Structure 1
Amino acid sequence: MASVLSNVSARNAAFALYQLDCPAVHPDSVTQCIKSATEHRPALIHIAQTDPAVAIAMFSLCRQHNVELAFENLNLEQNINKIPVNKILKTFLNVRTFDVENLHSQIPVQQLNKQAAIRAYAAKLIAVKVKANESLAFLAGLFADIGLLALAELYPKSLARMFEDANGDCQTLLKLEKENLGLTHNVISRQLAQKWLLPQAVADSAWLYCSPAADKLENLANIEIVLTVRLADMMANHINNGSNSVAAPAALAISPFDIKDINEKIKNFASKLNTSEDKQDSLIIKQALISLLDKPSEQNFTDLQSYLWNAVKPAVSAIEAAGIICESICKKFDAQKACIYLEAKKEAAKTVGYSTEFLAFEDTPTPEELDFADAGTMCAKLDTIGELFIKADNEFDISQIALLVSQILSAKSAEEYNISIAQALLDNFGEPTQQAVQIQQPQIQPLQQSASDQPIIQIEPTAQSPDEMREVIAEIAAGAAHELNNPLTVISGRAQILKQQETDETKLLMLKQISEKTEQAYEIVGQLMSYARPTKPHIRTVSPFIMINNCIEKVNNHYLDEPLDITIESSIENLNDIEVDAEQTAEAIAQIIYNSLESYESGNGPVIISGSEHLAGFVEIRIQDQGCGMSEETVKKASEPFYSDKPAGRQRGMGLAIAASLLRNNGCKLLLESQLDKGTIVSIRMPRKSE
């Protein structure tokens, strides 16, 4: 059966939910976390294992402190013990909480958390019996309903009403969510699990565990974990309802005796869960604040060092890096303002409070010109690079910070120097000859003749362009990124400053347009880099069904306010797994879907997605539209960057070029069949999983 994804409210809800960096936490859990962090660390581990929102917050802390999360063999106690107490306290003093006294009073947040804890415990016990991964099963059980917590935070009144109408029946609740929000909590759970970088098994389980059809997805890579969570949830529900009768999914090799044994253990676990409603203790909060105030400056520097080496990306210019550093210094050391002057280009980045600006000078500026001549300003030389200025009330060792900044900016200057040399070499090549830049044209074969004698054209791009040509394109792209990003940064920065000061509505509109066009220019540079040098793929086993749904989510988020007519045929569900980089391949398919939608005047379809098993070890996905189609000449140039036969302003012509590059990077084949004014079929052949 085909499913049409065209619900505007679903996309709006998905967009709102995707803004969540972490879920809200029940205030009682916050109090317990603060108390446990200062008094009894094992209790904190217990809270993280029984409250999914607390667990997400702790995972985020681990990533901030470069603590590796080995999800397949997770040792939460060991990971949390590596995080400084003051960081844990700061996190839970600032975390969003549910307003259980007023706004969220009708939402059973504590009951949802208890259900998650019991389900996670049961999933781990079941995993032992069926020889599945215990750690993944536990995490999948804990986060299976994380979407419900997100809905509870953002749509409390709507969810409370749906809870009441559903009367405890999960399928009824899902139906009501679909009718009222256009999106169900299991889909939201999956999206959030992926956003928060949880394992794919957790995302799959959150999405499918409550679906009766899950038993039939035998080819799904994580089906054992999905069914384990499904059984665990049924057992948790029966414990809450006082029933002992549970039927295990047929695909799980678990005996009735094992189920009975697990059931008894679950009952004991549920009875021990701490359900007391401890109120916030002012003494606990006071101790936490004192602990934060006692934070040593050495810890601030360690945090800054760890953050900056990750934040300053290769594509960032030296002056942009200086801006990032100034912002970080103000945040980490509570400085009033910070400035870095770069001598080579007579440029400076200055942050005051939360605002950063970029300045240009004809000669080396004085401290007065930089507005750093007042008392309390600290200054340090950055080797031959420039100077660092910091104004702060508290004292710390600026020389240590200056050494770190010098190292980062020296590395950045070296990158820019190498790019400038490469660009100079390219400039010296002059205008390349036609023979040097000619790319082999794909072979064209007419498949059949229509009544209008307009041929349907099939195109199969060559496996790859000559290495020399690709290197030239890559170097040009790198040079373009360097040469364009600097002026774009200045334009964008100036526009932002002017917008803050401007009151005239006409001028504000013009400044908004400048900012929007600058962002588009940034995007063009990024697209060219993606085409020229796609990152090395991380090949893993992927379900085509799940990957296509990821593509649809990406497309829906791209067209937030437009209804789309995209149909996924049921043939997709039965395809064998493939071996590709899931993110790169999904991005390629999304680019192709964008092109299919844009082939219509309305820009919204219809587009039909189907699949089949292809001989010679490939799985084939077909994306078909009935739009404007392409001529033979257009097909020849379809995968060239920036080529488009659409009117100016409609497309940039990078969609198929990026798609072809990413698919080639993953060992996939791309074929086009097109007929002018009648539509296009794009076929993607992806390597099937080895037996």
Structure 2
Amino acid sequence: MIIRQLPSLATLPEVAAGFLPNLLDQQADISKLADIIQADPALTARIFSLAHDHGVRFAHDVPSVSEAVSKLPDPVVRDAVLSVKVFQAFDADYDPDSGRVFPRKRFAMHSLATACAARKIAEIVMPEEKAEQAFSAGLLHDIGKLALCQAMPKSFDKMVEQAREEHKSLGAVEMQNLGLDHMIIGKRLAEKWHLPAEIAFAIWMHHSDAEALSDELAGAKMAQVVNLADSIARHCEIGLSGSFDPVDIDDAARTIGLSAEQVEMIAASLKEEVAQKASLLGLEMTGGPAAYCEMMQETAADLAKNNTTLSSHNRKLEADAVGMSFIREMLAGAEPGKPAIEIGAEFVKKFQRAYHTGPACFYMPCGEDGDCVEAAVVDDHGNVHITVVPVTEQRVIPEQIESEFALVPANRMSDLLELFDMQIDFTGSFAVPFMAGGRAAAVMVFEQRMPVESRMLAERLEVLTSVVGSMLAGARALEEQSTLAERFASVLNSLKESREELTQARSLAGIAEMAAGAAHELNNPLAVISGRAQLLVEAETDENKKQMLSQIRQRTDEMAHIVNDLMSFAKPREPEKVRIPVMDLIDSAVKKTQVKHGLEELQIDYSNIQPEWQVNVDSEQVVTAIANVMSNALEAYDGGEGPIWLFGSSKKGEQFVVLQIRDQGRGMSQRTLSKAVQPFFSDKPAGRQRGMGLAQSQRLLRLNNATLTISSKQGEGTSVTVRLPRA
């Protein structure tokens, strides 16, 4: 729905202030605007789309904005730029960066930085003619974010804030909340607007594992270039991308064949080049030109509206004169990747115009089980409204037209059409099927207002709908292929994480083998050393020697504990899962923490822990895991006494109980946070801790189908989230 509701991207008012005054002059030299156009994502996307529509042929078959502007007619470029939307209504005090979680100005700076870096990388690793295209690919790589920000700004701000708090990539948060990410949205917009294939591929795959992209894939090199350029822009902290996961430049550079020195040279000159582009776009403006931009926006909108109205009237006159020629128009407009519902909507609009019908609609079953209907309703004025509604008891395809073509009255379809919110006079309304493979793939319902002999109308419609039925079948097949491709891309995106998990699993296997060997080789000698030292202590009379012998025994005992800790981490026992109340686990963990730290009472504040919550886990293992987290929370304070906050949540129907354990201690740096669950890692002074607490907690929780995630900010505290499987 985001893609269908978004005809184009919006630009910033500062950018509009730069080009609108010039365009009001009909004699203005359009070529002078090329630099502004190719530095703005909204204008770049619009020009590429127009170049496709006008059949522009590019030198070396490498599309570029500058060549498109030079080859498109000046009136076409002028109308396109005048009609571009300006982001957000504003007043004299408007500042697009004030009070926004995702400021558009800073995001524009990130897009420019990625574009400049992509061009410099392409100059090294790609043919010379690809450099400008790489700039455009970098500029447009995050148009999916622009679309989300434009279509659902409040929800998008919340997702950016979540990514910031959880130190995640924005794509991962989008997938969690929406079921798709800005890469897929960007790819679909690129297909809708017919952006160049290599740029569309880079938009889709620029966050995929660079090593997993085969060089044989068309556009793979461009996607790798944009991947590295995005990482460099984020590393240089130019603008804001909306993602807060760690940046890894080395792997991306190594995959594409760049040395560390080359990356450093690109990064060194990046801020200056971006500043020049930002100045060209007027991004240094604050709120001064707001009223002027508003006036120019209104003027441009009026001009574009008048032009659109005139074009609409011309098309209507042509359609009336040509009559049945819209069949040829349908075939000529058949484009790969066009959704079936849009094909149907286009047909209904043309049919309504040619036959002067009243309201009409096109609908087709959808969903894996056919339990919903996708419909395009066209009102009296030709406005299209696309909707998806669930169906339960209603018959979607009338029985008379389920397996053969016929023109039938629509008076028995009122229950179904009411779901589409369609206002229609059933007295003179009819339904016809779109046949494909001997079955009705879709249905059109229309209100007939002009007197047409039914038999003649049926004959004409049978030919028309059979052609469109074949187009619908092809479109559906392409949609299914596209869905499979997107799922494959999601698998590629998760490949890097899977590799890391595999590496960690192999590391654990190595630790287990080492621990077993260490226990065998070290425990017996350590026991002998400890025993002999005890005997010598008992026989020794010299106090200095007795003290040294006691230290030897103490250190051997510590070594034995280290070996035992390593063994219990690497080879824990199999969990014995039982159904147990969550509160019982918490109480046991609190007591265990009190004993470990020698506290009479633990300063802990509970919130929303429901007594009816029960989980299916090994109580001893999970208690140990939670107690380790609480111990870490206490040790985050200089005094080692807390306080600790524990919040619970579990919505109806969810399969997990979520426990969040927070402290306001010293917090962790990003480096410490990235290694917090590694065995034997500790940021405390040597000899103070063995660094097994959080590592053991994660190990034990995984054995119980539970998870542990950590977020922390230095100087503000740490939050550990534990998800336990509900019983």
TM-score under structure 1 normalisation?
0.43
Higher relative contact order at CA 8 Å, sep ≥6: structure 1 or structure 2? 1
Using structure 2 for the length normalisation, give the TM-score.
0.41
